[in-house]
Amino acid sequence: MPKTHQLKTGTQVDLADCSTSGSDFHDERSAAEKEFKQLRRQFIEQQHAWYAEGRRKLLIVLQAMDAGGKDGTIRLMTRGVNPQGVRVTSFKKPSSRELSRDYLWRVHRFVPRAGMIGIFNRSHYEDVLVVRVNRIVPESVWRARYEQINQFEKLLSETGTTILKFFLHISKEEQKERFQDRLDEPDKHWKFSLDDLEKRKQWEDYMAAYEDALTRCTTSWAPWYVIPADQKWYRNLAIMRVIVDTVNGLNPQFPEAEDGLDSVVIE
């Protein structure tokens, strides 16, 4: 089940063929939420060992259209973990300092160090998504970035970073409902921007850009998962299944205690 939504390397992605509905994969919300909480408890235990071991690195990348659920996923996924061992980085519009360097510079600075779990809310993939859709750079520039990103991620993988990439796939109808919810509740107005409506007009362009990114940058060392995200309860479960299964396979261990601790007396 953890690999249900994993893309296959070399397969052309058509997002129209990828369901956005979690109900197509799970028919009982209460059972899904119960399993999610059980998996999150496992993740908390795994993360404690991961941090204590201090040897390996895990990078989790989240991409989605606006209102796709990145913030909510991170909030629920990390509830209860040791905050010393998890770092969330949100990538927004590049600063002038960042633009004066290569586009991967700002990303590389935030990849997790040994013992850490890094979570990217948006990522280096913005440089083949928004940059492409808004024609910020010529096609010859952004098209070359697919292979550059693959090689960047291969470098990370070969130096001890496990990479998991999740595209939270929502329908245009679900996005409309979530936008309306933000407008209807004053406490959520801060989440809404008129720019969101402009991006919504570019929906088809973004889908095409995502399809190319998912197709060209699904590799054995950094797989993409297309997660049905219209139902938040299934989105959370599907992602947590993948993370827990991956970390289980890596089997982090607490370090062995120093010799002689059995004879220590605290006075």
> What pLDDT score does 46 carry?
96
Query: What is the C-alpha separation between 125 and 167, in angstroms, rounded?
Result: 11
Contact yes or no for 164/58 (Cβ under 8 A)? yes
Sign of CA dihedral 26, 228, 250, 222: positive
Length of the chain, please? Answer: 267
The number of beta carbons lying within 10 Å of the beta carbon of residue 259 is 7
Q: Where are the domains of the chain?
A: 15-21+28-251
Fold held by 15-21+28-251:
Rossmann fold (3.40.50)
Q: What's the rounded mean pLDDT across residues 147-170?
A: 98
**3-state class of 13 per DSSP?**
coil
User: 212 or 260: which carries more pLDDT confidence?
Assistant: 212
Q: What is the pLDDT of residues 60-95, one digit of tens each?
A: 999 999 999 999 999 999 999 999 999 999 999 999
Return the pLDDT at 123: 98
Mean pLDDT of 142-169: 98
